[in-house]
Structure 1
């Protein structure tokens, strides 16, 4: 069991919703939630937070980045408590006018209820959360605008999707021909220099084998970097799996309609496998997910399998 400060607790949420990190410090009356899960889990997020707060108000929400599984509970939490909400600075213009395209929700075929923000997070900022000082560190790669939070004294890193125990999030910028591999490599180097002893990732369990996790992440990155089609193929499968996590059971017809109508799927196919039909790309993803037991077919119905 990895010991964390008394003012910090982690809700490990699985893969549809990102993990939530809740700070409660009665000495400073600080109650802050980092990342808020997916919109279909919003009621559960509110219930988890409300139970842990035990009558206290939630005063602040922070998002490491604005992918739907990290900010989908923002609107529900704002409706319940009106917390001050802090987002990465580069996302402020898109959130201000609610540009679904710029915010990736339309591109990935995912949902997010509109929310507002009160201030922004910039590389080099310092925050006091749970009576602990945290540095804001820019963490591009998986998402160009993402940030991490690092507590130098306790050597705890809230890494978002920049580092998991066994990898990191899809390198989305590369799917559109933009740089992402180099940035991911640089952020792994940065994590190395931090000498963190504990990592709270965006997905998966809290871990303390940090050096080994960075080594595994570097190996994974080189594998993807050596053939960018691998990153694209992985992204397709991840997005289909995410849709299945959301729907649980869906007809093949409806799943393919979602797949074919998702802009990022269309762009990935055009860039990487233009010679194949959209249906062929879809069938390949379905077969790959079925092979590893991530979905099951029953006639025309497709169901998620954990």
Structure 2
């Protein structure tokens, strides 16, 4: 495993909260955090950052994309330090108006406190974080507005959910009949061309077998493209698992009610499973997750299992 520069510190968080990357430039005193985790972990995020900063303020906050597990801590960090906050440029209108129809939080049945922004990230922009020069790289696919950060000299890529060690995030645009598979393929090609030595993913450990990760991601993408129902079924499982990560345990009826009230779930069922009642989709999802050890069923209760 390639060692990261001392200026970079990665807080590996799991799946409810995305990884956080803290960048400290001792020469200038600049400090920046990339991605802030989920709302229910905001106090933990704040504590981790404060401990690492050791009395210094957090001056900048950057989001690779605006899914709740990447920006849910923004409001808490802004309340404490008032960092200059940068978001992908295409999200500016939605965040300024806090438009539930454009933002993903309500549609996915997830939480995020309202936050503000000060600057926008465009493909090709250049940043200096932790005394290192970075390029902003557009990364549509998982999220049409997502970006990555690439540092050419140490060849480090902060990939968000565009590339993990074993896969990538749900291709959400395809769930609403929009193009996403082609964009994800193009992003993987772009990552390949960057020739990164080390990847800091949105979830999971830092890794340096970049070629292997790209190959695995391409195989996964080919599998999903072969039958879009696979992406839809996977998305339902991911959203249910995320809810259980958030709540840890729920009555079966309450979890079903949440699923019925989540508009993205309704759209997935209508588009990909029109002949299957939502309750049947719910039952199939629980059985599938239980079968791989992701949850346990105990009478009328559903419990998360890590």
Q: TM-score range by the shorter chain?
A: over 0.9
2:244 aligned residue: 244
Q: TM-score, normalised by structure 1?
A: 0.99
CA distance in 2, matches of 1:203, 1:175: 22
Residue 177 of structure 1 deviates from its aligned partner by: 0.2
Q: Which residue of 2 aligns with 1:260?
A: 260
Instruction: Point out where structure 1 has 5 or more consecutive residues left out of the alignment.
Output: none
Deviation, 1:298, is: 1.2
CA displacement, residues 190-242 of structure 1 (integer Å, 9 cap, x when unaligned): 00000000000000000000000000000000000010000000000000000
Contact 1:63 1:71 in 2 (8 A): yes
- After TM superposition, list the pairs within 5 Å mapping 1:1-306 onto structure 2: 1-306=1-306
Cα deviations across residues 98-148 of structure 1 (Å, max 9, x unaligned)? Answer: 012211101100000000000100000000000000000000000000000
CA RMSD of aligned residues (A): 0.5
The separation in 1 between residues aligned to 2:273 and 2:288, in whole angstroms, is 16
Alpha-carbon distance in 2 for matches of 1:106, 1:40: 16
Tell me, in whole angstroms, the C-alpha distance in 1 between the residues paired with 2:106 and 2:294: 24
CA distance in structure 2 between the partners assigned to 1:255 and 1:87 by the alignment: 32
Q: Are 1:296 and 1:305, in contact at CA under 8 Å, matched by a contact in 2?
A: yes
Q: Contact conserved, 1:67 with 1:105, CA < 8 A, in 2?
A: yes
Q: Higher mean Cα deviation, 97-106 or 167-176? A: 97-106
| CA distance, structure 1, for counterparts of residue 25 and residue 294 of structure 2 | 40
What SS does the corresponding residue of 2:232 show, helix, strand or coil?
helix
After superposition, the C-alpha distances for 1:141-199 in whole angstroms (9 at most, x for unaligned) are 00000000000000000000000000000000000000000000000000000000000
Distance 1:163 1:101 in 2: 27
Count the aligned residue pairs: 306
Alpha-carbon shift at residue 278 of structure 1 (Å): 0.6
Conservation of the 8 A alpha-carbon contact between 1:24 and 1:30: yes
* Contact 1:2-1:206 within 8 A present in 2 as well: no
- Following TM superposition, the consecutive aligned residue runs of length 4 or more in structure 1 with deviations greater than 2 angstroms are none
> Which whole-Å CA distance do the structure 1 matches of 2:44 and 2:100 have between them?
24
- 1:29-86 CA distance string (max 9 Å, x none): 1100000000000000000000000000000000000000000000000000000000
Q: Is the 8 A contact 1:61 1:83 kept in 2?
A: yes
3-state SS of 1:66 partner:
coil
